[in-house]
Amino acid sequence: MALSPDNKPEPLKVLRIFRSRDAQDFGEADHMSYVDDDPVILNGLEKMGEAGVADGYSGKCLFSGFGFSLHQFWFRPGYPLPLHSHDTDCLYYIIAGDIRMGTEEMGPGDGFFLPAETPYTYTIGEKGVELLEFRTEEDFNIQFKGKTEAYWEKMLDKLRTERPKWKEALPPSLDVRNA
């Protein structure tokens, strides 16, 4: 795959095949920018980082080009996903595991569409969740919505409770214990 000087894939001009084994780590792909400047949010995110929130997920950029991107994520069981939004439309598809969004329970084969700037969160189930994110842009932002210290303390409490379980967790699509 040819890369431009800014290390991004060149625009799609012909058929382009992508393979999971060649996928770039989500963080290294550098498609998502953080736009928060509220001191309460920044402090909450810093505390979450120090408490090991990054141990609760992994992601990869499967495809990026011609104004589209496709990312695959695995969130470990009980991962505390803070309320947030993105500046692009996104279609989510659940591969394995389950989530609860509001009153809706969703599992493999289910999904949801979110227009740009729509705040959302979901509760990751006991098996964790693997999902695909289809975006209408290659690059996008994330903006967190938790505006109070109490909100971030609640997120930290959930993180501290759930994180010990992550060491033994396997992606639900590979975990024969879930069968």
Residue whose tokens read 């964790």? 128
pTM of this structure:
0.87
* Cα(171)–Cα(143) distance, integer angstroms: 27
* Cα(82)–Cα(142) distance, integer angstroms: 11
In this structure, are residues 52 and 160 in contact, taking their beta carbons and an 8 Å threshold?
no
- Tell me which residue of 151, 122, 132 sits closest to 41, measured CA to CA: 151
Instruction: Going residue by residue through the chain, which has 179 residues, state the pLDDT in tens, using 9 for 90 and above.
Output: 455 566 665 655 677 788 989 999 999 999 999 998 899 999 999 999 999 999 999 999 999 988 899 999 999 999 999 999 999 999 999 999 999 999 999 999 999 999 999 999 999 999 999 999 999 999 999 999 999 999 999 999 999 999 999 999 999 998 766 55
Supply the pLDDT for residue 76.
Answer: 97
- For 57-119, the DSSP string reads EEEEEEEEETTEEEEEEEEPTT-----EE-SS-EEEEEEEEEEEETTEEE-TT-EEEE-TT--
* Cα(91)–Cα(132) distance, integer angstroms: 8
